[in-house]
Chains A and B, each alone.
Chain A
Amino acid sequence: MDCHNQGPEVEVGRDTLKFLLMGNPNVGKSVVFSKLTGVQVLAANYTGTTVGYTKGKVGNFNRDAVLIDVPGTYSLEATSEAEEVAIRFVEEGADAILCVLDATNLERNLNFAFQLKKYDLPMIYILNLIDVAENQGIQIDVEALAEELNAPVIPTVAVRNIGIRDVLQEMKSVEKRDEDREVVPEDTPWDDEEFRWAEIGKIIGKVQKIDDREPSFIEKLGYRTMEPWPGIPIALLILALSLGLVIGGGKAIRGALLLPVLDNFYVPFMTGLVGNYIAEGSTLFNVLVGDYGVLIKAIEWPFFLILPYVSLFYIVLSILEDSGYLPRIGVLLDGILRKIGVQGGSIVPFIMGYGCAIPAILGSKAATTHKERVIISSLVSLAVPCTAQTAAFFVLLGDRSIFLPIALYGISLVAIVIGGMVLNRLIPGKVDPMLLEIPNLLKPDWKTILKKIRIRVKQFMVEAEIPMVFGILFAAIVAETGFIFVITDFLSPLITGWLGLPQEAGLALMLGVVRRELAVLPLIEMDLTTLQVFVGAVVALFYLPCLSVLAILIKEFKLKTGLAIAASTIVAAFLIGGVINQIGTLFNAIF
């Protein structure tokens, strides 16, 4: 049930041609990979999107061929996990390496390419992003470069499919290497840094011409968004616009389009249909179409309540990702983030957490120290609501007052800051200082964005719908039979006494284990005061981050750490929820 994509397992037989796709981070390897294999991987405009590796069969090929998307690295010196993975792949051997070069940054990309020389494997160079380079006034003589590199160089604009066919053509002329697959690195003059840069300097002088032109509007914007002024106001504006689009848009779609369909057509239709066969008011009738009726809620909750917000959220996130804007927020926030044990470069996995915690936890692999990984993963699990839960909050709280969700997010932010400061002290070790390449701002390619949104919404529907149906069926049965009061009886001092919620709310806590939004949605159906609704939302926010996340936590950090993170989220949920209830009750009593 992972919310992330890994390509299907591909067998590499003895006769299969094996290609490695390599290069610096953020040069478009994942896009090239998708185009050549048809395997859809989520790419973005910043470094380290691919932290694992993905394998795919090459499509439209005359024989069996497999392509491996190796994580991008700046060098091959085994100084990070990603570099170790990259070196291991080369040493396991391949029939050819497809080395992707960023045309807007040829010098540094060649520095990586020449480090591959010691492995003496056939090379095909893919000169990507030539459109952006041309816009920046960079001209590269492709033929001269191919001559210097003594290998084919193919100019491409991978996102727009330009040049991909030529890459395939070039791959078809690669011959199977007879000898053993294993590759032993040899000492070459290219190992020497001075020598490498001197050679690169000579080559650049021959093949590259740069027109000195006034920076374009988007380049200037790229620089200005990294300055405190006007960078911080711009960041706030983007945040406000994004929230407005998701909250306002979601509410509008729901109110104007979806609710009328639900209330005027779907519910009467289903109730009437079931009423034809089953006596109204019977337990079975209520399980099917009653308060938690599975035929109603299994459609209403995921599609009518959650989906509009989730789709809008992913539209905004995909645009922000592909524009290259997100790392700039990291630059602006680095000073503050360091105080909670996180450096600015890690802002991206953090923001991903507002979509789903799983890509956030996997993405935290890009963090350079274990300590920072644990901090990011714990904070995301504790206090960052996923997009589906956010949608449920907007419905539960936003329909009463716009200030309630704002207050909830305020509490979430405070918890992140305090939690981070505590973890930063508790966990031994250090957090590396920020050292990050900032991508150029790019105009997002709409086709790519649409595709990305489609993948993510589809993923959400598949992953949410099945657990949701089972959760709702369970809820309907225990609520309609009154069994809920038996199960939650022992929890009643906690639920009714400490949290001030009706005992029925125990249902939300049970369902919340399955999916985060299910800790919120049952509350919508109950007759609650504003204080009760808010306390319920706070408990749901901090509460255990769904089973899939727990599984990933245990897989990535071992059982002990995984369970410790989960247990502390539950304790925090009851502690903070209860305190808010007690203060609220006292406040109500006085005024």
Chain B
Amino acid sequence: MSLYGISKNGTCTIATLPPVGLLKSLGLREGLQVMIRSKQPMGGPVIVQVGRRCVAIAEDIAKEIHVEEVN
């Protein structure tokens, strides 16, 4: 499942990240649990809460981030 597929307020654990260096620098890493704060319409970004920070991730990148949903 991709990060983009998680709905708002959903929580998931990151399984694999695409090779975009900035993702890791922004604090995303495999095994980390994150929460979707909001999703924008018209192909806009998803807002992911990483720790106590929010990161806006474009649709294209979010679709390549594989996650496991946490219930």
Q: Which residues of A contact B (CB under 8 A)?
A: 73-75, 77, 79, 104-105, 107-108, 111-112, 136, 138, 193, 197, 222-223, 226-228, 231, 327, 330-332, 334-336, 338, 343-345, 433-438, 440
Residues of A contacting B47 with CB < 8 Å? 226, 331, 438
C-alpha gap A336/B22 in the complex (Å): 23
Q: Tell me whether A435 and B38 are in contact in the complex, defined as CB-CB below 8 angstroms, given that A107-B27, A338-B43, A344-B45 are known contacts.
A: no
C-alpha gap A228/B42 in the complex (Å): 11
> Would you give the shortest CB distance from B27 to chain A, in whole angstroms?
4
The 10 A-B residue pairs with the shortest CB-CB distance in the complex, in nearest-first order: A433-B58, A335-B42, A74-B25, A335-B44, A108-B27, A227-B38, A434-B58, A75-B25, A438-B54, A433-B60
Residues of B contacting A228 with CB < 8 Å? 38, 40-41
Q: Tell me whether A436 and B40 are in contact in the complex, defined as CB-CB below 8 angstroms, given that A107-B27, A111-B25, A111-B27 are known contacts.
A: no
**Residues 18-53 (chain B) with a chain A CB within 8 angstroms:** 20-27, 29, 37-38, 40-45, 47, 51-53
| Contact assessment for A104 and B27 in the assembled complex, using a CB-CB cutoff below 8 Å | no
> Would you give the shortest CB distance from A88 to chain B, in whole angstroms?
18
> Would you give the shortest CB distance from A102 to chain B, in whole angstroms?
9
Question: A77 contacts which of B21, B40, B52 (Cβ < 8 Å)?
Answer: B21
> Would you give the shortest CB distance from A47 to chain B, in whole angstroms?
10
C-alpha gap A77/B25 in the complex (Å): 10
Question: A226 contacts which of B29, B38, B52, B53 (Cβ < 8 Å)?
Answer: B38
Chain B, interface size category, equals 20 to 34
> Would you give the shortest CB distance from A260 to chain B, in whole angstroms?
49
> Would you give the shortest CB distance from A334 to chain B, in whole angstroms?
5
| Contact assessment for A79 and B53 in the assembled complex, using a CB-CB cutoff below 8 Å | no
| Contact assessment for A223 and B38 in the assembled complex, using a CB-CB cutoff below 8 Å | yes
Residues of A contacting B53 with CB < 8 Å? 104-105, 108, 437-438, 440
Residues of B contacting A74 with CB < 8 Å? 22, 25-26
Question: Is B6's CB within 8 Å of the partner chain A?
Answer: no
Add 16 more A-B contacts to A331-B40, A434-B57 (CB < 8 A).
A77-B25, A108-B27, A108-B53, A112-B25, A223-B37, A226-B37, A227-B37, A330-B56, A335-B44, A338-B43, A344-B45, A434-B58, A435-B20, A435-B26, A435-B57, A436-B56
> Would you give the shortest CB distance from A372 to chain B, in whole angstroms?
13
Residues of B contacting A345 with CB < 8 Å? 56
C-alpha gap A136/B25 in the complex (Å): 23
Task: Indicate with 1 or 0, residue by residue over B1-28, a CB within 8 angstroms of chain A CB atoms.
Answer: 0000000100000000000111111110
Nearest residue (CB) in B for A229 is B38
| Contact assessment for A332 and B44 in the assembled complex, using a CB-CB cutoff below 8 Å | yes
C-alpha gap A309/B8 in the complex (Å): 41
C-alpha gap A434/B62 in the complex (Å): 10
C-alpha gap A432/B45 in the complex (Å): 13
Residues of A contacting B57 with CB < 8 Å? 434-435
> Would you give the shortest CB distance from A80 to chain B, in whole angstroms?
8
| Contact assessment for A331 and B44 in the assembled complex, using a CB-CB cutoff below 8 Å | yes
Say what secondary structure dominates the interface of chain A. Answer: helix
C-alpha gap A435/B27 in the complex (Å): 12
Question: Is B69's CB within 8 Å of the partner chain A?
Answer: no
Question: B24 contacts which of A193, A332, A440 (Cβ < 8 Å)?
Answer: A193
Residues of B contacting A136 with CB < 8 Å? 52
Nearest residue (CB) in A for B43 is A335
| Contact assessment for A197 and B26 in the assembled complex, using a CB-CB cutoff below 8 Å | no
| Contact assessment for A344 and B44 in the assembled complex, using a CB-CB cutoff below 8 Å | yes
Residues of B contacting A197 with CB < 8 Å? 29
Residues of A contacting B21 with CB < 8 Å? 75, 77, 79
Question: B58 contacts which of A111, A435, A438 (Cβ < 8 Å)?
Answer: A435
> Would you give the shortest CB distance from A127 to chain B, in whole angstroms?
15
Question: Is B59's CB within 8 Å of the partner chain A?
Answer: yes
Residues of A contacting B23 with CB < 8 Å? 435
| Contact assessment for A334 and B54 in the assembled complex, using a CB-CB cutoff below 8 Å | no
Q: Tell me whether A433 and B40 are in contact in the complex, defined as CB-CB below 8 angstroms, given that A75-B21, A104-B52, A438-B47 are known contacts.
A: no
Nearest residue (CB) in B for A138 is B52
Q: Tell me whether A434 and B42 are in contact in the complex, defined as CB-CB below 8 angstroms, given that A105-B51, A111-B27, A226-B37 are known contacts.
A: no
Q: Tell me whether A433 and B27 are in contact in the complex, defined as CB-CB below 8 angstroms, given that A105-B53, A334-B45, A344-B44 are known contacts.
A: no
> Would you give the shortest CB distance from B9 to chain A, in whole angstroms?
10
C-alpha gap A332/B40 in the complex (Å): 7
Q: Tell me whether A435 and B54 are in contact in the complex, defined as CB-CB below 8 angstroms, given that A107-B27, A335-B42 are known contacts.
A: no
> Would you give the shortest CB distance from B61 to chain A, in whole angstroms?
5
Q: Tell me whether A79 and B24 are in contact in the complex, defined as CB-CB below 8 angstroms, given that A226-B38, A228-B38 are known contacts.
A: no
C-alpha gap A223/B22 in the complex (Å): 22
C-alpha gap A345/B20 in the complex (Å): 17
Residues of A contacting B20 with CB < 8 Å? 435
Residues of B contacting A437 with CB < 8 Å? 26, 53-56
| Contact assessment for B27 and A434 in the assembled complex, using a CB-CB cutoff below 8 Å | no
Nearest residue (CB) in B for A109 is B27
> Would you give the shortest CB distance from A58 to chain B, in whole angstroms?
29
Listed by A's residue number, 13 A-B pairs whose Cβ atoms lie within 8 Å are A73-B25, A108-B51, A223-B38, A223-B54, A227-B8, A227-B37, A228-B41, A331-B40, A331-B45, A332-B40, A335-B42, A344-B45, A438-B47
Q: Tell me whether A334 and B40 are in contact in the complex, defined as CB-CB below 8 angstroms, given that A433-B58, A433-B61 are known contacts.
A: yes
| Contact assessment for A434 and B38 in the assembled complex, using a CB-CB cutoff below 8 Å | no
C-alpha gap A336/B55 in the complex (Å): 19
C-alpha gap A108/B44 in the complex (Å): 25
| Contact assessment for B58 and A334 in the assembled complex, using a CB-CB cutoff below 8 Å | yes
Nearest residue (CB) in A for B31 is A197
Residues of B contacting A331 with CB < 8 Å? 40, 44-45, 47, 56
Residues of A contacting B43 with CB < 8 Å? 335, 338
Nearest residue (CB) in A for B44 is A335
C-alpha gap A108/B52 in the complex (Å): 11
C-alpha gap A223/B35 in the complex (Å): 12
> Would you give the shortest CB distance from B32 to chain A, in whole angstroms?
9
> Would you give the shortest CB distance from A190 to chain B, in whole angstroms?
15
> Would you give the shortest CB distance from A342 to chain B, in whole angstroms?
13
> Would you give the shortest CB distance from A124 to chain B, in whole angstroms?
23
C-alpha gap A28/B9 in the complex (Å): 30
